[in-house]
């Protein structure tokens, strides 16, 4: 099993997708790949999410995970659909245990130092900081993780392209999760050319910052 850090290494941005229609998954995959970012976290917030995971997972070269996972049952269904990593909004012992049983990397969400300590006690070395925007942005993330030098984080929530350099400038940040390039409005309107453009723009910013 790859670790979470190994999966995300070289992928500084994780598109966070809310999708209402699984038929949009294939052109979405095309747009993300065209933009240079064949990766997606599909949140389990809609009835179409698991079908979208199946479509994306079937595409060669696409790294697909499931987000907003809150129960062990959701872990099983997401992995059955082809998810290669699991993201939860908070820290759940049940979600963590099922992911370990199924040998799938998990990215639990944290918002406090106490939650980080829980994660570290459980052997988790990479966490999602959520919602990063309302937790003080890049400076808030930097302050939150300062006491934990071994920790790697993926800030998510309230992040846009203009925020990338500041977040990626935090040494503990492994990758940044964002939805601006795959907003539900763009997907519903089938504006996949714009998805590809925004994705490419984000990749250029991230590579320029970390090169």
User: Is 3.60.15.10 the CATH number for 4-200?
Assistant: no
Per-domain residue ranges for the chain? 4-200
pLDDT string in tens for the chain (211-residue length): 578 888 888 889 999 999 999 999 999 999 999 999 999 999 999 999 999 999 999 999 999 999 999 999 999 999 999 999 999 999 999 999 999 999 999 999 999 999 999 999 999 999 999 999 999 999 999 999 999 999 999 999 999 999 999 999 999 999 999 999 999 999 999 999 999 999 999 999 998 775 4
Characterize the bridge pairing of strands 126-129 and 106-107: unpaired
Contact predicate 184/166, CB 8 Å: no
**CA-to-CA distance for 188 and 183, rounded, in angstroms?**
9
- Is 128 in the active site? yes
Q: Which two tokens stand for residue 105?
A: 């990397």
From 34, 76, 128, 194, active-site residue: 128
Contact predicate 57/78, CB 8 Å: no
- Is 9 in the active site? no
Query: 165 exposed, middle or buried (CB, 10 Å; 0-12, 13-18, 19+)?
Result: middle
- What pLDDT sits at residue 1? 57
**CA-to-CA distance for 56 and 61, rounded, in angstroms?**
10
Say whether pTM exceeds 0.85.
Answer: yes
From 6, 41, 115, 201, active-site residue: 41
Q: Counting runs of H as helices and runs of E as strands, what totals does the chain give?
A: 10, 9
Helix residue ranges per DSSP H, 14-108: 25-34, 49-57, 72-81, 93-101
Q: Which of 168, 185, 188 is nearest to 177 (CA)?
A: 168
């Amino acid at each position: 099993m790859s670790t979470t850090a190994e999966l995300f290494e070289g992928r500084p941005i994780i598109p966070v997708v809310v999708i209402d229609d699984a038929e949009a998954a294939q052109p979405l995959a095309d747009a993300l790949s065209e933009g240079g970012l064949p990766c997606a976290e599909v949140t389990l917030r809609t009835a179409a999410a698991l079908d979208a995971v199946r479509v994306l997972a079937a595409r060669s070269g696409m790294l697909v995970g499931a987000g907003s996972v809150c129960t062990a049952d959701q872990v099983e269904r997401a992995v059955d659909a082809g998810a290669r990593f699991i993201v939860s909004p908070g820290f759940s012992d049940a979600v963590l245990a099922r992911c370990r049983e199924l040998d799938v990397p998990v990215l639990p969400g944290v918002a406090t130092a106490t939650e980080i300590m829980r994660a570290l006690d459980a052997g988790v070395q990479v966490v999602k900081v959520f919602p990063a925007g309302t937790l003080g942005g890049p400076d808030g993330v930097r302050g939150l993780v300062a006491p934990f030098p071994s920790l790697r984080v993926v800030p998510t929530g309230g992040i846009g392209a203009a925020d990338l350099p500041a977040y990626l400038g935090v040494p503990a940040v492994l990758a940044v999760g964002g939805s601006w390039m795959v907003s539900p409005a763009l997907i519903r309107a089938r504006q996949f050319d714009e998805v590809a453009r925004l994705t490419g723009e984000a990749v250029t910013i991230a590579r320029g910052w970390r090169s």
